[in-house]
A and B are shown apart, each in its own frame.
Chain A
Amino acid sequence: MADKVLMKGNEAIAEAAIIAGCRHYFGYPITPQTEVAAYMAKKMPKIGGCFLQAESEIAAINMVYGVSSTGKRVMTSSSSPGISLKSEGLSYLAGADLPALVVNVQRGGPGLGGIQPSQSDYFQATRGGGHGDFHMIVLAPASVQEMAELTVKGFELADTYRMTSMILADGTMGQMMEPVSLDFDIKEAPEKPWATTGTKMQREHNIVNSLYLSPEKLEETNFERYEKYKYIEENEAMYEEYMVEDADIVVAAFGIAARVSKNAVNEARSRGIKVGLIRPITLWPFPTLPFKKAAEHAKQFISVELSMGQMIEDVKLATDCKVPVTLCNRVGGMIPSPEQVLEAIMEADGGVK
C-alpha cells in the first residue's frame, strides 16, 4: 500500500506523462481538465521541464507540433470546446506524421455546454479529429489508475506509429480521486531519424511538413498512412470482457459508463439474467473482434453512453447489424445510474425471452 498515492485523474495523467519522459507541456486552462496544467505548472520547473500556458488552444497545439518535430515527447490537454480549437493542429500533426499526446477530458456540449462530464466527443475523436483523411489512436480510461497507465501507453504508441494518441476521458475521470500506483516500466523511446535535430553537416536535413506540392505524392502518402492504420487496427485494439461467454445480452460501454454498467451487470446476473459487458479501451482502433464473437450468441446489445448515441454506430458496424443494438444514455453532463442501465437490461431480457 505504501507506494500508492491518492490522485485526481487529471493529476495522474500529468504525473504519468512526466514519468514517461515528457518534459514539454503546452496548454490553456479549461474545466474539467485544469488540474493537468496546474500540476505541470508546479512540477515542470522543478525537474528542468517546460510548462507554458499558451495564449490560446490553437497556439498550444502548434507548440506541440514544434517540439514534436524535434523528436521530444510532448503533450497538451484540454476539454471539449478547447479540443475543437485544436483540431486544425491535430490535422497538421497527422499530415506531418508527428507523434504527440493530446488529452480531452470531455464536458457537456455542444457549444460552451457545461462543466459536467460527457462522452459526446466520440465521433470527433474516433473519426480523425480534424480535416482530411486521418486517425488518432484513442484511449478511453475507466479509472484513475488507467488514466496514468494509458498516458504512458499513449506516448509509446504515438512514438511507435508517428501519430497522435488521444486520451478520451470525461469530467468524472478527470476529477475523481482514487489510489494510484505509479510504478511503470518505461520502454525507451524509439529512434527518431526524421526529427529536426540539426544536421551537424553529417546528413541531409530533415523536413517536417504537411504540404505536398504534387497531388500524386500526396495520394501516395495517404495510401501509405492507411496501410499503417490497417496494421494498427489489426494489432493494437484493447478491450475488457466481463461475463460475455454465455451472455444473451451484451452491454457496450467505456469510461465512466462502463463502471456504472458493471454494477448493473452484477445486479442483473444476481437476478439470473445472462448479461455481460464489453469495455473498449481503445476507441480507435475499435475492438471489433469481441463484438463479432459475442454477436454469435448474444440476442441484443445495449450501448451505454454519455452521448446521444455515438459509439452505438461502431457497435452496429462491428456486428454487421446482425443483432439489434439499443441505446441507454444520459447527456448534458448527466450520468446514467446503475438502476437505469439495469432497467435497460431487464427490458432487453423481456424482449430476449
Chain B
Amino acid sequence: MNYKRLTLLCGHYGSGKTNVAVNMAFDLRNKYENVAVADLDIVNPYFRTKDSVKDFEERNIRLICSEYANSNLDIPALPQDMYAITDDKSLKVILDIGGDDRGALALGRLAPKINEEQDFEMLMVINKFRPLTPDADSTIEVMREVEFAGGIKFTGLVNNSNLGDETTAQDVIDSAAYANTVAEKSGLPVVLTTVKEDLFEELKGKVENLFPMKLQAKPIS
C-alpha cells in the first residue's frame, strides 16, 4: 500500500480498526522513519493501541494517545499532543478512530486541517461477520453516519472480515463478494484485504492487495 501522510481508520465498533492500525503502523515503519499511531478512541476504554506500547517502543513508533487509555478512568479523553497529527508535517500517521459515528465525532476538530492538506486516506474497516453489519446496505449506513459525524469523506475500504481465531482461508475468499458489493454501492475501492499471518501463504495470489496481520488480542483457549 502507498501511504499518504495520514491514514484514518474508521468503522463499526468491533470491526477490527485497532488491529489494522497497529499492523499498518508496523508496515509503515518499515518504509518510513518518522511514524506515529494516533489513538482518538473516545468510545471504548479497552483494547486500545496502548496494548501494543512495547511493540511501538521497540520499533521507535510514536504513540499519540490519551494517558487514561486502559486505566480505570472511564472518560472520553483525547491525547494532549493530538495537534501533532496535523501540525507536524514530517510525521506519517495512522489514526485509529473510535467506533461508529459517536467515535468519529473526535475527528471534527481535526477535519478542517485534514481536508485542507489533502494528503490522507480515510479508510472504512469492514467485517461481514459482525452482526450489525452483515451486508452492504447496513455497512454503508454506518459509513454515512461516520462521514457525517467526522466531517471527512471516505476514500477506500479495508476488508477485515474475520471470525477471530476460527477464520479460515475460505472465509476470507467468501468475504470478497461482500466487500465488492460495498465497493460497488459506495463507489470506493477495496484497498486492502487483511488476513491473519498463518493464512497468508495459502491466500497469496488468490486475493488482491492481501495484508498479513498479527492478532493483537490473544485468544484464551
The chain A residues found within 8 Å of chain B, CB to CB, are 1-2, 4-8, 11, 15, 31-32, 39, 42-43, 108, 113-116, 175-179, 256, 259-260, 262-263, 333
Contacts and interface: CB of A to CB of B under 8 A. Distances in A.
A106 to B, nearest CB: 14
Nearest to B171: A1
B168 A6 contact: no
Contacts of B47: 175
A288 B1 CA distance: 59
A333 B217 CA distance: 18
Interface in B126-144: 127, 129-132, 134
A6 B163 contact: yes
B164 A179 contact: yes
B74 A262 contact: no
Contacts of A263: 220-221
Which residue of B45, B162, B163, B220 has the most chain A CB atoms within 10 A of its CB atom?
B220
Given A31-B45, A31-B74, A263-B221, A15 B131 contact: yes
A115 B132 contact: no
Given A115-B74, A333-B72, A4 B163 contact: yes
Interface of B: 14, 45-47, 72, 74, 127, 129-132, 134, 162-164, 166, 168, 170-171, 174, 217, 219-221
A39 B132 contact: yes
Contact of B14 (A1, A115, A177): A177
B129 A4 contact: yes
Nearest to A107: B72
A262 B221 CA distance: 8
B131 A5 contact: yes
Nearest to B127: A6
Contacts of A7: 14, 130-131
A15 B164 CA distance: 19
Contacts of B166: 1, 4, 179
A43 to B, nearest CB: 8
Given A6-B163, A42-B132, 17 more contacts: A1-B166, A1-B168, A2-B174, A5-B129, A6-B14, A6-B127, A7-B14, A11-B131, A31-B74, A32-B46, A39-B132, A115-B74, A177-B164, A178-B219, A179-B164, A259-B221, A260-B220
Contacts of B74: 31, 115
A39 B127 CA distance: 17
B164 A259 contact: no
A6 B129 contact: yes
Contacts of B171: 1
16 contacts: A1-B163, A4-B163, A6-B164, A7-B14, A7-B131, A8-B14, A15-B131, A42-B132, A115-B72, A115-B74, A176-B220, A177-B14, A177-B217, A178-B219, A179-B129, A263-B220
A5 B221 CA distance: 18
Nearest to B161: A6
Most buried by B among A42, A108, A178, A263: A178
A267 B65 CA distance: 38
Contacts of A42: 132
A17 to B, nearest CB: 13
A32 B72 CA distance: 11
Contact of B45 (A115, A179, A260, A262): A115
Given A31-B74, A115-B45, A177-B14, A6 B221 contact: no
B130 A6 contact: yes
A303 B5 CA distance: 53
